Structure 1
Amino acid sequence: MKLNKMIITLALVTMLAIPAFAQKFAYVQSQRILAEFQEFVDVQNKLNEIRNGYDAQYQKMLKEYNDMLQEIDSQSLLLSPEKKQEKMRQAQEKATEIERFKYEKLGPEGEFYKKSQELTQPIIDKINKLIAKIGEEEGYDFIFDASSGALVHALPKYDITDQVIEQLNKGAASTTTGKGK
């Protein structure tokens, strides 16, 4: 009988102790944070303008190249072999110039990529610092990113995305209003 009481008591103590060691989890939706954080939206708009400028330059260069080829084709019977060869060389130089432009401006290590990193990385760092701060203040052991695809299921009550967006935009608003002082 005493043994049963001791086992039951031990089981109750163990069951009560389990919640004390439970870990606290939360998650965020990073894609939604980026879409709703005005500072990031502004940077994306600026990057789109830069990209559109590069695309316009690229399209202009392609048109010039195609016009050169069309001119060569339409005048091929009228041109001397030397003149035709010269125009073909110029067209080849234009093609090389177009490829160089595309690589230098839009390539994986081009100006656009570097500008994108330069403008977005500080914002990503700010978001990560805020998420870490909320994690510490709220006592979360883990905060997952639902947008990464690693989170298969979670209850909405553990979603702190709204809290992150609210604090980011509140911080951005106070920074904007503080500039005029």
Structure 2
Amino acid sequence: MKKLFTFVAFAVVLMSGQAFAQLKVGYTNADVILSQLPEAKTIEAELKAYNAQLSKELETKQAEFEKKYKEYAEGVQKGTFTPVIREAKEKELQSLQQNLQEFQQKAQADSQKKQQDLLAPVFDKIQKAIDDIAKAENFDFIFSTDVAGGAPILLFAKEEHNITNKVITKLGGTPIPTDKK
């Protein structure tokens, strides 16, 4: 909300001065640009393979826990465990469950880091293309239509100021129809 207020205040200040008439403003959407680039499919496939590997390992750990728990439950039901063995089995199950939860948390963090690592160079390319277009076409500001904190950053802009397709074209992607941005 603070970003939105800052943006609105900035826009009001710009509009209130005569300098606004001399400014050239544009906007774009980095997520739309990314979706149109060839490397997006490669990144998606790599993330899918990485996450599948993590899921397989998680399933293996889950199956091991379930097997041990079943053995424990059967032993308790039949009364075959001495108190010492029962306590050892319970500690083992608690340890396995804790390891499983830790693995899930680490896998989720690793997946997010992998995604960030794969996307960072692409977003750097997108930013460079935006900078190049802004300089070449003498834009003073380029805003984003991406959503930040659940609310759009750019609340209104004329389509003529949208440079999304220019960035996509510059990066070798396939421009999208104007009404889908």
Normalising TM by the smaller chain, what interval? 0.7 to 0.9
> Which letter does structure 2 place at the counterpart of 1:104?
K
2:145 and 2:25 map into 1 onto residues whose CA distance is 12
Q: Once superposed, what is the RMSD of the aligned Cα atoms?
A: 2.1
Residue 11 of structure 1 aligns with which residue? none
- 1:158 and 2:161 matched: yes
**Quick check: 2:29–2:164 contact (8 Å CA) kept in 1?**
yes
Residue 10 of structure 2 aligns with which residue? none
Residue 95 of structure 2 aligns with which residue? 93
- Moved beyond 4 Å, runs of 4+: 18-21
DSSP 3-state at the match of 1:169: coil
**Quick check: 2:30–2:126 contact (8 Å CA) kept in 1?**
no
2:22 and 2:41 map into 1 onto residues whose CA distance is 38
Structure 1 residue 60, shift from structure 2 partner: 2.3
- Structure 2: 5+ residue stretches without partners: 1-17, 174-181
DSSP 3-state at the match of 1:27: strand
DSSP 3-state at the match of 2:42: helix
Structure 1 residue 78, shift from structure 2 partner: 2.1
TM-score (norm 1): 0.74
Question: Aligned ranges for residues 105-144 of structure 1 at < 5 Å?
Answer: 105-107=107-109, 111-144=110-143
Residue 8 of structure 2 aligns with which residue? none
Residue 48 of structure 1 aligns with which residue? 48
Residue 177 of structure 2 aligns with which residue? none
2:160 and 2:172 map into 1 onto residues whose CA distance is 21
2:103 and 2:31 map into 1 onto residues whose CA distance is 31
DSSP 3-state at the match of 1:144: strand
Structure 1 residue 74, shift from structure 2 partner: 1.7
1:146 and 1:20 map into 2 onto residues whose CA distance is 20
- 1:32 and 2:25 matched: no
Query: Which of the pair has more CA radius of gyration?
Result: 1
2:111 and 2:36 map into 1 onto residues whose CA distance is 23
- CA separation of 1:89 and 1:40: change in aligned 2, threshold 3 A: same
2:55 and 2:39 map into 1 onto residues whose CA distance is 24
2:74 and 2:20 map into 1 onto residues whose CA distance is 84
**What is the aligned-residue identity percentage?**
23
Q: Which segment is superposed worse, 60-69 or 138-147? A: 60-69
Residue 7 of structure 2 aligns with which residue? none
Residue 167 of structure 1 aligns with which residue? 170
Structure 1 residue 146, shift from structure 2 partner: 0.8
Give the number of the structure whose residues are more often helix, by fraction.
1
